[in-house]
A and B are shown apart, each in its own frame.
Chain A
Amino acid sequence: MSEQDAQQKDMASKAHADVHQDESDAAQGTTRLKIFRGDAEGGSEVEYEIPNIEGMVVLDAVLYIQAHQAGDLAVRWNCKAAHCGSCSAEINGKPKLLCKTRVEEYEGQEIRVHPMRAFPVIKDLVSDVKWNYEVARSTIPFQSDEQAPFIMYEEDVERLYEPKKCIECFMCQDVCHVLRTHHKHPEFAGPRFFVRNQWLEMHPKDTQSRLEYLKEGQGGIGYCNITKCCTEVCPVNIKITDNSIIPLKERVADEYYDPAKWLMRKIRGRRSPKTGAVVGRNGNRNGG
């Protein structure tokens, strides 16, 4: 056995421990990854070579490099179970959860790992997502006339389960061309927050309207041209465009673009966005 082989075997067994594999799944060959190294000032790709381990995800590969080859390589992660949404980055130009993406998916292809590009880079694979928390603060919060705990019926809340699945990985924000290419951050909330607003708007106990925020305010839903890249990348399969954005666009159309609706409002008075009841009389949300 050559010295190189011995070294490789050693590396492979260390990687084994990292990914909790059986000793019997010995490493087969190596994989090369190009990883962005740099910060807000700039940077470049650096190539690393690591031993293959069956079932290895890209985060394993990155952590292997961090442990054995580049101790200062920055990467953000927490759960390693596709739950916390921390490890979002871009693999070959597409947003991915590093902990959910297997290396073997890229067999025969280059693997190029970069931080999310719609946000400023802090270091290496870590980008600064704090802008999203500012948008979260601009969102009109839940408010109800009633005191929690509420009695709610299954049929009224079943549509709220899907938006609730969001793990705030912000990959939909990253891939959205309105943010990524057109940098509309100050006037566009982005798909993640349309998901959030849909949840709030459809909540049977919430009494606020967010349509003005969405159309005129920081929501900026008109910038979205429903081209569905957000839906393509969501790791929890929220149908962002079909089930959150388009329903909100339809509600905005009710309020701002539908002459018949406008006329009805003039004649019959404004109705509650929640129940269709005339608003203002007894504040009765339960009327028909």
Chain B
Amino acid sequence: MSGGTLSWSSFTARFPWWAGSVTTVAILGAFTIYSIFIVFFQPVGEYGGYLLSPMYSPPVPSPIDWLSPAIFVLWIPLGFRLTCYYYRKAYYRAFLWDPPNCSSKAQQREPRSPENYSGERNLWVFNNVHRYFLYGSIIVVAFLLYETIRAFFPDGFGITIGSLLFLLNVVLLSGYTFGCHSMRHLAGGRVDCYSCVRGGNLRRKSFQWVSVLNGRHMFWAWVSLFSVWGADVYVRLLMAGVITDLRLV
């Protein structure tokens, strides 16, 4: 066991067993409330004609005044996260306490009785649609890439804090999206014999690339959540005139 692992476990051992759950609930809860607020109360999320908040991309015109165009888009990335294998682990543990963590003591606090526990067999079986959210999210990431390019053209080419923030966001979101377990399966995980199928070597290589990202899926899941959130807050602060988008080049 490496020293790093030891010190991380001794670091986490300092916290009570419920600390992880409380943190996850706080962050995911706050993000959900924020998203609901965007969808129902914030019809505009664009600044200066070049920074479109990632929560509004691709821009779909809303037929109803008070309804934010984000509602037509946001369900894809939110559904993607809701059905993501990593977030599933996070909310089954933190929100449902199924189990809250792995210690014997924590497992004794599991609220469901054996008769009521069905894992992902009943209600949560819908999480199997995850791959369809992946397909949708790939399209969303493509639009975000387009929006990022636009962010580098405030009036002619230019680099601003906003454009760099958008660039960071699209990189982190790609790391999250292309490291998805369903992507891994699609890329080559479902092939058993690479030397037997056409394009097998490419399938194997793609599987390996996705696996590299997938190995840090939890990391990508969190940092991309914060980058989307951060980019939207940034655009909102610009819109409110609280800050200006500092131009570097």
Interface residues of A (CB under 8 A from B): 90, 93-94, 117, 153, 155-156, 175, 177-178, 180-184, 201-206, 222-229, 232-233, 241-242, 246-247, 249-251, 253-254, 256-258, 273-276, 285-286, 288
Contact = CB atoms under 8 A, between A and B. Distances in A.
Given A223-B119, A246-B181, A274-B193, A181 B107 contact: yes
A175 B99 CA distance: 11
A242 B182 contact: no
A183 B184 CA distance: 32
16 contacts: A155-B204, A177-B98, A177-B110, A202-B192, A227-B89, A229-B99, A232-B102, A247-B181, A247-B189, A250-B184, A251-B185, A253-B130, A257-B128, A258-B128, A275-B192, A285-B193
Contacts of B198: 288
Query: What is the predominant secondary structure among interface residues of chain B facing chain A?
Result: helix
Given A246-B85, A257-B128, A177 B107 contact: yes
Contact of A155 (B98, B185, B194, B217): B194
B194 A156 contact: yes
Given A93-B104, A181-B107, A257-B125, A242 B197 contact: no
Contacts of A181: 99, 107-108, 110, 114, 117
Contact of A250 (B92, B104, B129, B181): B181
B18 interface: no
Contact of A184 (B88, B114, B131): B114
B95 to A, nearest CB: 12
Interface string B53-76: 000000000000000000000000
Contacts of A153: 194-195
B249 interface: no
A246 B118 CA distance: 17
A286 B193 CA distance: 9
Interface string B220-231: 000000000000
Interface string B168-201: 0000000000000110110001111111111011
Nearest to A153: B195
Contact of A226 (B88, B118, B191): B88
Given A94-B103, A225-B98, A225-B119, A250 B192 contact: no
A225 B88 contact: yes
A204 B193 contact: yes
A266 B184 CA distance: 25
A288 B202 CA distance: 14
